[in-house]
Structure 1
Amino acid sequence: MAWDEWDQLKASAADKGSAQMQLNGIPEEDRPNSGNPAGGDLRVDQQDLAAIGDEAFKLYNRLWKEARVTSTDTTATDLTGQGFALGAALQHVSMRWDKQLGSVMDACALISNHMDFTKNAHAGDEVFIARHVSSIQTLDAGFDEAWAAPGKPNGIYGEKPKKDGE
């Protein structure tokens, strides 16, 4: 930003009657999800996590069954044994394929396992929270014994002492 442009912006702000200047910020109404925390678009539930993990597991199994090419190694060995330079090149391609395939399969396994772990961790959190809330509810129930009708003083504590003048 040029110095002249800065001066123009300051003068424009002063003309509008604004005595303050705001830098590095945008108005509330222009912020995404402002004022409505439930309005965000990032939500995940157990079914979403399970579906992602399941798809990653299916992909891993398909890669294991369909993407491994063992016949290429045999062909490369045969071609090399017959004196063809293509054999060594084919062996190189096969080794690179196996390495890349292993990386993709590892990623699928990691995703699948992580989704299972996340699902189980959140389920454990739910159980933990439910236990604590239910124990508070049980404790509260112990204090809610009906010693007196609603709105009436509890006779177990005796009568309230009267003040001078009553």
Structure 2
Amino acid sequence: MAWDEWEQLKADAADRQSTRMQLNQLDPGDGGGSASLPGQTGDLKVRNGDLAKIGSQAHTLYDNLWDKARVAIPSSDKAAGDLSGQGFALGSGLKHVSNRWDEQLKSLMDACAHISNHMQVTKKVHAGDEHYIQRQMSSIDALDAGFDERAGAPGEKNPAYDPPKKK
């Protein structure tokens, strides 16, 4: 198969693929958000320092909730018990509010702990991904360097292997 024939087959295949492609998407119109090109909006960049700050803030919030938001629960429960013991209906209402506060506080503290832990794991995973990608790219660069010593134009026969015939 000649080089020109190969190039023609590749071009034909590309034409067939491009005519079949169809995007099922609505026109964003006036109110829709149109997709921006990456060059217009910038690439997503996250550094380990950014993740560490988010994780640290979540951990600080967790600690503050543990130290300061739980303070009212024991006194509210005691007051609810005293009020109920004296026959006031307000006692059961206060106990209900205290229980709901405790449930919501635990939920919020769990979310903070989850964010903090997730940021730690994300830092480690992305660091591993970065090292893997760097290793892969460096091996590709080394392989490419071996092919950069071309003696002829792309698509042409290499004169080193097919010297011109003398007449």
Provide the TM-score with structure 1 as the length reference.
Answer: 0.59
Alpha-carbon distance in 2 for matches of 1:88, 1:42:
55
Structure 1 counterpart of 2:105, one-letter code? L
- Equivalent runs, 1:23-38 vs 2, <5 Å: 24=27, 33-34=36-37, 37-38=38-39
Which of 37, 50, 58 is the aligned partner of 2:52?
Answer: 50
Deviation at 1:64, TM superposition (A): 0.9
Matched, 1:99 2:103: yes
- Matched residue, 1:74: 78
Alpha-carbon distance in 2 for matches of 1:53, 1:93:
31
Structure 2 counterpart of 1:54, one-letter code? S
Deviation at 1:151, TM superposition (A): 9.5
Q: 1:135 to 1:41 in 2, by over 3 A?
A: closer
Identity of aligned residues (%): 48
- Equivalent runs, 1:9-158 vs 2, <5 Å: 24=27, 33-34=36-37, 37-40=38-41, 43-46=44-47, 47-68=49-70, 69-137=73-141
Q: Secondary structure at the match of 1:70?
A: helix
CA offsets per residue over residues 58-98 of structure 1, 9 Å max, x none? 11111111101222212222332233332212111100101
* Equivalent residue pairs, number: 127
Provide the TM-score with structure 2 as the length reference.
Answer: 0.59
What residue ranges of structure 2 are gaps of 5+ in the alignment?
Answer: 1-25, 152-159
What residue ranges of structure 1 are gaps of 5+ in the alignment?
Answer: 1-22, 145-149, 153-158
